Amino acid sequence: MASSPPTDRAAPIHQRDRITNLDTVRGIAVLGILVMNAVSFGLPQAAYFNLDAAGSERWLDWVIGGAGEIFVDQKMMGLFSLLFGAGIVLFADRAAAKEARAGLLSLWRNTLLLGIGVVHTLIWDGDVLVLYAICSPILIAVRNVRPRTLLVLGTAIVLWSAVLAVIVEGEVPASGEGLGEFWFADGGAMSEAVELFVLNDFFTRALGMMLIGVALYRLEILQGQKPAAWYRRMAILGLGTGLPIAAAGLAFQVTNDFSPEIAIIGEAPNTLATIPVTLGYLGLITLWNQRGNSALHERFRAAGRMALTNYLTQTLIGVAVLRGLFDSSDLTRTWIFAFILVVWGLQLWWSQPWLARFRYGPFEWLWRCATYRSWQPIRRTSGS
C-alpha cells in the first residue's frame, strides 16, 4: 500500500464533527455485550441459554445470571446492532457525497469486515461481525427507504424469531433429545430444527435491529437530536414494557425448573422484550449524553470510537484468561463477572489515552487502510 496523506475521500471525521451520542451509545454497548459473551468464553455453550446448565453454584451466581438474562441478554447486542446498522449507512452516505463509486467502496469495506469476522471465529465461535457483514448489502440497498417502513420491517424480522421458537418447540421431544449443546452442558449434536432456530435467532435479531438502527438514524433519534422529554418518554415506555416481559420469561424458566420441555419457547419472551428494552436504554443513554462532557462521558465515547478494537480484544483476553488459565468446571458466574469488571476497567482506561495520540484504534486503522488501499496516517496532529 502506498503511503498517502488524507484526502477528502479518506480523511478522518474531525473531532468537532463527531456525533457524540453515537460514540456514547456504542461505548456502552460494546462494554455491555461482554456480559453475555464472557459466559461463552468461560462456560459450556449451554450456560449462555440455560442458567441451570453450568456456573450457577451459589445464590450470587443466580442473581448475576438472572440479571444478565433480564437486563443484558439480546439487549446489548440490540444496541450494538442499531449502531452498526447506522454506521454502515453513515459511511455509505458520506462516501456517496465524495465519490461516484460509493456503493462499491461500501461493499468492499464490508467484505473486509467479513474477513475480520471469519478470522475472529477461528478464535471464538460467537462472532457477530460475520452477520453484520452479510447483512450490510441489504442495508446499503434499502438505506433510502422510508424510516417508517424500515421500522416495521425490522420489528417484524426480530419478532419472527419468537414465532419460530413456538414452532420449533413442537418439534422437540419432552426428553430434550435434539437440544444438544444448546441446553445441556455435556454437549451433543443439535437437531436440524434446533440448529435452524439458533441460526435464525442470531441472524434475524442482527438484521432486524440494524434496519431499526437505520430508521432511527434517518429520524435523527440515534444522534440525540430530540428534546430530553422525548428520550425520557422513550426510556420509561421501553423499559416499563420490556423489562417485565423479560422478567416473566425468566420466571417461566425458573418455575419450570429449566425443563427441556420449555427450552426453546422459553427464549421467546426475551426476544419480545429486546426492542422495547433496547430503545429504553437508548433513551437513558441519550439523556446522560445530553447532560454534558464529563471525564466519564469522554471515556465511554472513546471506548465507542474504538468499538472494533475493544470488541476483538475482549475475545482475545477472554479466551486467553477464561479458557487458557481456567477449566470451565472451576468457573462460576461470579468469577466471570469479576473478570468482566476488570476488562471494563482496562478498556475505559486505555481507549481515551490511545485516541489522544492516535486518530483511530489499531484495528479500526487497519480496516481503514485496507478499505482505501492506501497507508492512512494514524498519529494525531494538532487540531485533528
Q: What is the mean pLDDT of residues 358-382?
A: 92
The tens digit of pLDDT for each residue in 213-245 reads 999 999 999 999 999 999 999 999 999 999 999
- 306 inside domain: yes
Which residues sit opposite 3 in a β-bridge? 375
pLDDT, tens digit, for every residue of 135-188? 999 999 999 999 999 999 999 999 999 999 999 998 889 888 999 999 998 878
CB 194 within 8 A of CB 168: yes
In a domain, 380, yes or no: no
The pLDDT of residue 200 is: 94
Residue 166 lies in a domain: yes
**pLDDT score, position 377:** 92
Q: Flag whether 104 is in a domain.
A: yes
On average, the pLDDT of the chain sits at 91
Mean pLDDT in residue range 358-379: 94
Classify the phi-psi angles of 231: left when phi > 0, otherwise alpha if psi is within -120 to 50, otherwise beta: alpha
Handedness of CA 182, 180, 265, 198 (dihedral sign): positive
Q: Classify the phi-psi angles of 258: left when phi > 0, otherwise alpha if psi is within -120 to 50, otherwise beta.
A: left
**What secondary structure, in 3-state letters, does 64-75 show?**
HHHHHHHHHCCH
Side-chain-side CA neighbours of 325 within 13 Å: the count stands at 9
Nearest-angstrom CA–CA distance, 266 and 246: 10
The pLDDT value given to residue 103: 80
153 within a domain of the structure (yes/no): yes
pLDDT number for residue 295? 94
Q: What local confidence, expressed as pLDDT, does residue 96 receive?
A: 82
Q: What is the pLDDT of residue 104?
A: 87
Domain contains 7: no
Whole-prediction pTM: 0.92
pLDDT at 309 over 80: yes
Q: Provide the residue range defining the domain that includes 191.
A: 15-372
Joined together, the cell numbers standing for residue 58 give 451459589
Chain centre to alpha carbon of residue 188: 27
CA–CA separation, 347 and 232 (whole Å)? 29
pLDDT at 14: 46
Q: Is residue 88 part of a domain?
A: yes
Q: Per the structure, how many domains does the chain have?
A: 1
Work out whether the CA dihedral 366, 321, 334, 295 comes out positive or negative: negative
Q: Is residue 40 part of a domain?
A: yes
